[in-house]
Amino acid sequence: MRKPIIAGNWKMNKNPAEAKALVAELKPLVKDANCDVVVCVPATDFESVRTEIAGTNIHLGAQNVHFKESGAYTGELSADMLCSSGVEYVIIGHSERRQYFGETDATVNQRVLAAVKAGLKVILCVGEKKEEREAGYTDALVEYQTLIALTGLTDEQVSEVVIAYEPVWAIGTGLTATDEQANETIGVIRKGIERKYGKDVAEKVRIQYGGSMKPGNVKGLMAQPEIDGGLIGGASLKAADFSAIVNFDK
């Protein structure tokens, strides 16, 4: 059995004081969660969130990492900088990074390798655009994105990566993939991993759904056999909504 993992992606929201207030409100609401609970916050919030969640079941995540250890990369953060700031998880390859910041499958792969080497837990995002789904490329695309991103990892390292399947057309739009669509595409990703790394690895990898996941649709999505959790954008910014998602099984 794979333990579910629910992660909030705060994106570019919340200053340190607001971040502290949000996790302070969240703590008692998620303390009995049966899943792993992660908040992926802006780097400027690492310190206030880390201090506030110390000793709780909430884990700290970042939203990106650079692939070099150090050097002339203005504005970027290395894996070591994240680790030494108390960060445990990192989102890599989010569609907003791909769309607005020139992220490619190749740089996503480099970032994954750097993160794993440093001991960070990776949340790898893949997903198709609306026109790609309509053209019938979804399955080929998500398998390709996934396998390229994982290239160079050992079987054991692959089994510890968390994958977030986020159809781009469902992010921030209020449109959710149907439970069946999400389950089917996540099944395709798992089959791709099985073909390359074997059944054991494929059965260990946790694959989340992301894209307008909310208290109202979490139960249906989480009831699907392939879906192991969620990566939550908008609804992770409200303690009541995020905790309701985390407590989907209660």
Nearest to 210 by CA among 188, 182, 238: 182
Query: Interacting stretch for ligand 13P, rule CB under 6 A, among 67-75, 142-150, 199-207, 231-239?
Result: 231-239
Nearest to 48 by CA among 21, 12, 16: 16
Interacting positions 140-179 with ligand 13P (CB under 6 A) = 166, 171-172
- Of the candidate residues 149, 233, 241, 242, the single one contacting ligand 13P (CB under 6 A): 233
Neighbours of 197 (CB within 10 A): 20
What distance in Å separates the CA atoms of residue 57 and residue 53, rounded to the nearest whole number?
8
What distance in Å separates the CA atoms of residue 128 and residue 170, rounded to the nearest whole number?
10
The one catalytic residue in 52, 59, 66, 94 is: 94
Pairing type for strands 5-9 and 162-165 reads unpaired
Nearest to 179 by CA among 142, 141, 225: 225
- Of the candidate residues 4, 5, 9, 161, the single one contacting ligand 13P (CB under 6 A): 9
Is 138 among the residues that bind ligand 13P (CB under 6 A)? no
Smallest separation, CB 171 to ligand 13P (Å): 4
Contact by Cβ (8 Å): 121, 65: no
103 as an active site residue: the answer is no
What distance in Å separates the CA atoms of residue 30 and residue 48, rounded to the nearest whole number?
19
- Of the candidate residues 92, 150, 182, 213, the single one contacting ligand 13P (CB under 6 A): 213
What distance in Å separates the CA atoms of residue 96 and residue 125, rounded to the nearest whole number?
10
Q: DSSP assignment, residue 2? A: P
- Of the candidate residues 92, 234, 242, 248, the single one contacting ligand 13P (CB under 6 A): 234
156 as an active site residue: the answer is no
- Of the candidate residues 4, 61, 93, 210, the single one contacting ligand 13P (CB under 6 A): 210
Site size for ligand 13P (CB under 6 A): 14
Q: Which is nearer to ligand 13P, 119 or 172 (CB)?
A: 172
**Site map for ligand 13P, 73-112, x if CB under 6 A?**
---------------------x------------------
| Residue type at position 213 | M
- Of the candidate residues 110, 212, 243, 247, the single one contacting ligand 13P (CB under 6 A): 212
Tokens of 34: 């049966």
What distance in Å separates the CA atoms of residue 170 and residue 195, rounded to the nearest whole number?
28
Smallest separation, CB 40 to ligand 13P (Å): 8
Catalytic annotation, residues = 94, 166
Residues lying near ligand 13P in the complex (CB under 6 A): 9, 94, 166, 171-172, 210-213, 231-235
